[in-house]
């Protein structure tokens, strides 16, 4: 293909040239450099296509990585040079020089994804090839062994030929372990002259990494109890370096079957082992910071948690506060530099044996400590970490203040698995974060359990509404003067398929948090209004039954509040003045006119607005005048003070004051939580208008209320 200078084809060629120059010295190819370049060119073309393809396709990049093995780039160095080259030049030569900065950024990110996939493809292909090689080597070894055995039994000359010509190392020793013969391949592996090997005892060739069973197998073989064994074994070469081998040792018997010699066949696996180590390193370390990654951390944690009795562990789970802002405002490169510096500092915090720091991903780090006394250790560790973050980090000439939230878990090993421990640390970290960040919190199993159910409930909430798992109980509101039922408060419950009936305190805050409160609140209003209408129809004699429905602060700000309420009332055919909406005092403290407007509209239509839980929110009593409120619901805490006889005089004075103030503002007073007759009497004397509480009835199904009202009407 002719390449117009500076055109895409020309640039592609230049990329292939650079690539081949970089990698050629690290290959084991027998080609010349230009020939090698020709082999890389199609790979370069596929890479270039993959870079600009509409969708990212990891499979193509993995194939390119695998193809490197096929062109004899099997050394890890070749991979590393390839990745460097792709990183530096692919976008430059194969991208679009005229593209916008945004597209360039996208190309660069595509390039790094391609690199990842190439590395993965390379590693996989290499592993497959190694396995294939091992297979052929063991076949060759088997073959050689048969030849040697035959040769020993036949002529010396033939034996020599096989022995010397073999590509794998062969050695022969007597049953005392004295080395009698070694071939050239074996000598080359040991890098020494024959004198250094021949005549030595096999038993001198111990290595600290010898597995204990190696020497047991050896003993069994020389005693004639086994015919061969296969192990992976390390040796020291005469120069002190280490040689790793795949070693097969066979017992050679004489014609009568008596053990005579031992024959060792060895294959040098040092390189492969180094490569595996390096691949393992790459698979277990974070490329950006060089810290152990999630995989390695989990391995270590698992091991730590499986340690023997009396051992403990401590874990600090750190998440940086506001890291996203750094990334968003200063760019990812700055974010990366910050992470690298944080990683370096963290590493200095956990240097003792049994301590480690890892990066779990993003801006999340963990520090692990193990041993018998991690209770104190983890305290000190978290102190060191907080300290390490104090000094601002300088990135691009800016001093960035780094803060973090840390979840600490400490405990005896053997009780929990790694996933559970990490989840606990994560939950605890979030507790630190929601408490404002820049702090640590210590895990507490009860808080964990709460958070876990909270999480489960939150995710189940939306479905629950669709599945009709909510229902309403009604609690009568009673006239203190004559004890008649004049209405009821609707209180929502959730019949959860696993947890049974849940009270509103368990799920209303979650519904508020997720916004589900709006549809849920609308459903409650619809149900309750419909129910009130049904009571009226069924028993007009008891007078208009009023219905109280609670509103969450979030519903107040929802634009559909007024229109939804009007629609619901109209659909049910209920007069607005039969409805009372309860809003907690705290939601209205400091409320501005905008927030009050919908409530005012509703009040103008005739809907009563009650200030719920009054007395808990320290609202300015004079402020009440400003609110579109017609009823005060005194919080349960006031009634509690009246449970004993005589009642707490201070409580009595307060309630008396509130009642007279409320009445002077034309507000009715309802009291909550009336549990005894004495309380009811006391409250009546103090001038409260209506009451609600277990003394009259617990919240219950709608029919119960109807019965109570009927009883009133008869009595």
- Residues in contact with ligand C2E by the rule CB under 6 A: 475, 491-492, 503-505, 508, 521, 524, 550-552, 582, 612-613, 636, 672-675, 692-694, 699
Q: Which of 115, 145, 550, 679 binds Mg ion (CB under 5 A)?
A: 550
CB–CB of 317/297 below 8 Å?
no
Q: In 249-273, which positions are buried (b, 16+ CB within 10 angstroms) versus exposed (e)?
A: bbbbeeeeeebbbbbbbbbbbbebe
Q: Retrieve residue 488's tokens.
A: 């009821």
370 touches which of Mg ion, ligand C2E, none (CB within 5 to 8 A by kind)?
A: none
Binders of Mg ion among 659-678, rule CB under 5 A? 672
CB of 480 to ligand C2E, least distance (A): 14
Contact status: 585 vs Mg ion (CB under 5 A): no
Stretch that binds Mg ion, among 150-158, 226-234, 577-585, 687-695 (CB under 5 A): 577-585
63 touches which of ligand C2E, Mg ion, none (CB within 5 to 8 A by kind)?
A: none
Stretch that binds Mg ion, among 413-421, 574-582, 587-595, 645-653 (CB under 5 A): 574-582
Contact status: 582 vs Mg ion (CB under 5 A): yes
Query: CB within 8 A of 247, min separation 6: which ones?
Result: 230, 231, 232, 233, 264, 265, 266
Closest CA to 569 of 526, 519, 599, 540: 526
CB of 691 to Mg ion, least distance (A): 12
445 touches which of ligand C2E, Mg ion, none (CB within 5 to 8 A by kind)?
A: none
475 touches which of ligand C2E, Mg ion, none (CB within 5 to 8 A by kind)?
A: ligand C2E
Find tokens 């393809």 and name the residue: 53
At residue 275's C-alpha, the angle toward residues 273 and 277, to 5°, is: 70
CB of 658 to ligand C2E, least distance (A): 16
Length of the chain measured in residues: 715
529 vs 503: CA distance, rounded Å: 21
491 touches which of Mg ion, ligand C2E, none (CB within 5 to 8 A by kind)?
A: ligand C2E
Closest CA to 186 of 172, 168, 204: 168
Q: Which of 527, 608, 612, 689 binds Mg ion (CB under 5 A)?
A: 612
Stretch that binds Mg ion, among 33-41, 343-351, 613-621, 652-660 (CB under 5 A): 613-621
Give the number of residues in contact with Mg ion, rule: CB under 5 A. Answer: 5
Q: By rule CB under 5 A, what string of x and - marks binding of each residue 510-549 to Mg ion?
A: ----------------------------------------
693 touches which of ligand C2E, Mg ion, none (CB within 5 to 8 A by kind)?
A: ligand C2E
DSSP per-residue codes, 15-41: HHHHHHHHHGGG----S-HHHHHHHHH
Q: Give the residue ranges of DSSP H helices in 166-245.
A: 184-190, 194-197, 212-222
CB of 454 to ligand C2E, least distance (A): 16
CB–CB of 662/448 below 8 Å?
no
Find tokens 């050896």 and name the residue: 218
CB of 612 to Mg ion, least distance (A): 4
State the DSSP H helix or E strand holding residue 260, giving kind and residue range, or none if neither: strand 259-268
Stretch that binds Mg ion, among 108-116, 117-125, 418-426, 580-588 (CB under 5 A): 580-588
DSSP per-residue codes, 617-677: S---GGGGGGS---EEEE-HHHHHTTSSSSPPHHHHHHHHHHHHHHHHTT-EEEE----SH
Q: Which of 613, 627, 673, 679 binds Mg ion (CB under 5 A)?
A: 613
CB–CB of 425/335 below 8 Å?
no
Contact status: 690 vs Mg ion (CB under 5 A): no
User: Which residues in this chain contact Mg ion in the complex, by CB under 5 A?
Assistant: 550, 582, 612-613, 672
């Amino acid at each position: 293909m002719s390449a117009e200078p500076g055109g895409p084809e020309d640039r592609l060629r230049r990329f292939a040239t650079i690539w081949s120059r970089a990698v050629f010295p690290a290959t084991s190819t027998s080609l010349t450099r230009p020939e090698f370049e020709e082999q890389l060119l199609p790979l370069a073309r596929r890479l270039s296509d993959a870079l600009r393809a509409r969708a990212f396709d990891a499979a193509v990049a993995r194939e390119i990585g695998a193809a490197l093995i096929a062109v004899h780039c099997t050394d890890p160095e070749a991979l590393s040079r390839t990745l460097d080259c792709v990183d530096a030049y692919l976008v430059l030569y194969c991208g679009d020089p005229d593209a916008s900065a945004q597209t360039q950024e996208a190309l660069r990110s595509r390039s790094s994804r391609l690199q990842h996939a190439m590395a993965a493809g390379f590693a996989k292909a290499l592993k497959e090839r190694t396995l294939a090689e091992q297979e052929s080597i063991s076949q060759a070894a088997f073959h050689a062994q048969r030849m040697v055995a035959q040769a020993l039994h036949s002529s010396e000359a033939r034996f020599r030929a096989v022995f010397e010509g073999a590509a794998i190392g062969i050695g022969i020793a007597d049953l005392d372990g004295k080395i009698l013969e070694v071939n050239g391949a074996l000598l080359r592996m040991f890098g020494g002259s024959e004198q250094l090997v021949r005549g030595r005892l096999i038993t001198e060739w111990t290595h600290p990494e010898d597995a204990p069973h190696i020497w047991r197998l050896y003993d069994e073989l020389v005693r004639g109890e086994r015919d061969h064994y296969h192990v992976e074994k390390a040796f020291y070469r005469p120069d002190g370096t280490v040689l790793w081998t795949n070693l097969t040792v066979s017992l050679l018997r004489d014609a009568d079957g008596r053990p005579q010699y031992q024959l060792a066949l060895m294959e040098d696996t040092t390189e492969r082992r180094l490569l595996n180590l390096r691949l393992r390193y790459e698979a277990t370390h974070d490329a950006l910071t060089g810290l152990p990654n999630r995989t390695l951390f989990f391995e270590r944690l698992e091991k730590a948690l499986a340690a023997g009795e009396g051992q403990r562990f401590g874990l600090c789970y750190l998440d940086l506060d506001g890291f996203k802002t750094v990334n968003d405002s200063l760019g990812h490169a700055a974010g990366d530099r910050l992470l690298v510096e944080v990683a370096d500092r963290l590493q200095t915090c956990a240097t003792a044996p049994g301590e480690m720091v890892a990066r779990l991903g993003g801006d999340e780090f963990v520090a692990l400590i193990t041993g018998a006394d991690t209770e104190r250790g983890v305290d000190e560790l978290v102190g060191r970490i907080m300290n390490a973050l104090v000094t601002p980090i300088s990135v691009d000439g800016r001093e960035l203040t780094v803060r973090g939230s840390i979840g600490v878990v400490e405990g005896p090993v053997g009780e929990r698995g790694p996933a559970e421990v990490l989840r606990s640390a994560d939950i605890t970290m979030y507790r630190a974060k929601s408490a404002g960040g820049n702090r640590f919190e210590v895990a507490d199993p009860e808080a964990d359990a709460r958070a876990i159910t909270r999480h489960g409930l939150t995710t189940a909430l939306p479905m629950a509404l669709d599945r009709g798992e909510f229902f309403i109980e009604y609690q009568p509101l009673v006239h203190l003067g004559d004890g008649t039922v004049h209405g009821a408060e609707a209180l929502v419950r959730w019949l959860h398929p696993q947890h049974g009936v849940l009270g509103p305190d368990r799920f209303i805050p979650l519904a508020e948090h997720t916004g589900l409160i709006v549809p849920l609140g609308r459903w409650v209003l619809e149900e309750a209004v419909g129910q009130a209408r049904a009571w009226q129809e069924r028993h007009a004699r008891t007078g208009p039954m009023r219905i109280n429905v609670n509103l969450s602060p979030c519903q107040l700000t929802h634009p559909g509040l007024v229109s939804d309420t009007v629609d619901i009332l109209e659909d049910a055919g209920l007069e607005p003045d039969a409805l009372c909406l309860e809003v907690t005092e705290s939601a209205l403290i400091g409320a501005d006119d905008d927030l009050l407007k919908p409530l005012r509209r509703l009040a103008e239509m005739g809907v009563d607005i009650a200030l719920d839980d009054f007395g808990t929110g320290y609202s300015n009593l004079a402020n009440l005048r400003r609110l579109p409120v017609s009823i005060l619901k005194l919080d349960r805490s006031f009634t509690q003070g009246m449970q004993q006889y005589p009642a707490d005089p201070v409580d009595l004075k307060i309630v008396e004051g509130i009642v007279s103030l409320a009445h002077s503002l034309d507000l009715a007073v309802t009291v909550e939580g009336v549990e005894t007759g004495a309380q009811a009497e006391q409250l009546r004397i103090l001038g409260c208008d209506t009451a609600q509480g277990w003394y009259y009835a617990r919240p219950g199904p709608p029919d119960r209320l109807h019965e109570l009202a009927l009883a009133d009407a008869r009595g």
